[in-house]
Amino acid sequence: MSASTDSQRMEKIVSLCKRRGFIFQSSEVYGGLNGAWDYGPLGVELKRNLKNYWWRVMVHERDDVVGMDGAILTHPEVLKASGHVEGFSDPMIDCRTCKAHLRADQLVEKKGVKQCPNCGGKDFTEARQFNLMFETHVGAAADESSVAYLRPETAQSIFVQFKNILEVSRKKLPFGIAQIGKAFRNEINPRNFTFRSREFEQMELEYFCRPEQGMELLEYWKEERLKFYDNIGISRTNLHVLTVPDAERAFYSKGTYDIEYDFPFGRQELEGVAYRTDYDLSQHQKASGKSLEYFDEETKERIIPHVVEPSAGVDRTVLAMICEAYAEDQAPNDKGQMESRIVLRLHPRMAPIKCAIFPLLKNKEPLVAKAKEIVALLRPDMTVFYDEGGAIGRRYRRQDEIGTPFGVTVDFETLGERDPALRDTVTLRDRDSMKQERVAIQDLPAILRERIR
């Protein structure tokens, strides 16, 4: 983690998220459930745009990847074979002074002495392993035989379904299986807003290949994933690729990169790209007794494919997009005086609402009717928002704050009252430059479609 943090900036972001309906504390009226978050009307749009774009580039735009959607409830044998039942744990210690449960690596060290990050206490229990999986029972009998787990990652259902998907999709190596879905980890200390939650979503690709292709594909996927972040508006200068050192890598991995982002609370992992060798398929083949081999028709060989896994967090990426987009600058009000504004410079492709439509005055029927016509015209192609309340500058400001990239204003020129040549044209305002252009209403769908694609 880098030393530079900005807690004030983070507070403003959390407050904006709540005020404008991006993210709320889950079960808030009952005091909140720690580590769980609910996405509000704008948050759900942002999250869906992210997931849809990931699916588009990782699945739809490729011939070598197919998708799946696996169950969250997972058979214990799956997670025994993968090593999670035995080893998916963090070392936990308790502070004897304030009774906090802490992850051992969260202690702060001052002058060589370990201290509790909450109270500064120095008296701790011994570290013990705490398994992060949520256990539940399936069916009426709540005994050992009915134990199941909420999946701690989406990857395992991909490995377990490898053979079925290979057969139905008839893919040849290298090929991938992609999945987006919920994962659950009973994190000892959920923190940093949604960054470390107990319930979250992952976007994972398992890209199967021949052993000799593994290292090369690890590089390939790292680069592809960096391009992805660029395409959703996360600047390369705030991303860092960490080569995970041998000692910290999973024992079966031959190479792992962490893609990290400079959050206001420090540099932290957004995504892991790992070459996992044939570990997972081999484990499941051994434990289930079912063949998970791939038959190569050319060489007539049977092999267990190796796999490269780019595994990204939906919630962490949403948070990174909001952190990246949050800005405060100056904008003119209706009287032309400069005022400070909050603006979310979200990539238009990701913005929850693409275009806001304003009649200049709400009590002028022809302006309102024209604006509503434009709403109907644009709605099949994008999310739009109609707003007739308040001074136009204030209406712009409300949209700037939620990242709406475009604003269309219907004014008296639109009605052709001043200059017949301007009839059926509107002003199209850009959120970031605040520049306005005059465009014909009929051209709006094509112009905007191009900019939000």
**Considering only residues 54, 156, 160, 187, which one is a binding residue for ligand ATP as defined by CB under 6 A?**
187
CA-based nearest residue to 433, from 412, 451, 415, 413: 451
Distance from chain centroid for Cα 13: 16
**Considering only residues 50, 312, 321, 410, which one is a binding residue for ligand ATP as defined by CB under 6 A?**
312
197 lines the binding site for ligand ATP (CB under 6 A): yes
**What is the maximum span of the chain, computed from C-alpha positions, in angstroms?**
82
270 lines the binding site for ligand ATP (CB under 6 A): yes
316 lines the binding site for ligand ATP (CB under 6 A): yes
Which range, of 17-25, 123-131, 196-204, 329-337, touches ligand ATP by CB under 6 A? 196-204
271 lines the binding site for ligand ATP (CB under 6 A): yes
Measured from each CB, the residue nearest to ligand ATP is 313
Query: Is residue 407 exposed (0-12), middle (13-18) or buried (19+ Cβ within 10 Å)?
Result: buried
Q: Using alpha carbons only, what angle is made at residue 365 by residues 359 and 370, rounded to the nearest 5 degrees? A: 50
Count interface residues toward ligand ATP (CB under 6 A): 16
CB of 35 to ligand ATP, least distance (A): 8
| Binders of ligand ATP in range 408-437 (CB under 6 A) | none
CB of 286 to ligand ATP, least distance (A): 22
Distance CA 109, CA 103 (A): 14
Distance CA 304, CA 292 (A): 7
| Minimum CB distance to ligand ATP smaller for 207 or for 406 | 207
388 lines the binding site for ligand ATP (CB under 6 A): no
Distance CA 169, CA 248 (A): 36
**Considering only residues 181, 313, 352, 403, which one is a binding residue for ligand ATP as defined by CB under 6 A?**
313
| Minimum CB distance to ligand ATP smaller for 272 or for 348 | 272
Which range, of 25-33, 123-131, 305-313, 383-391, touches ligand ATP by CB under 6 A? 305-313
Distance CA 364, CA 118 (A): 59
**Inter-CA distances, 186 with 34, 90, 197, 265, 370, Å:** 10, 10, 8, 22, 53
400 lines the binding site for ligand ATP (CB under 6 A): no
**Inter-CA distances, 304 with 11, 22, 172, 204, 208, Å:** 49, 44, 13, 20, 9
Which range, of 95-103, 140-148, 209-217, 306-314, touches ligand ATP by CB under 6 A? 306-314
Q: Which residues, in sequence order, are CB contacts of 143 under 8 Å at separation 6+?
A: 137
Residues that bind ligand ATP (CB under 6 A): 153, 185, 187, 196-197, 200, 202, 269-272, 311-313, 315-316
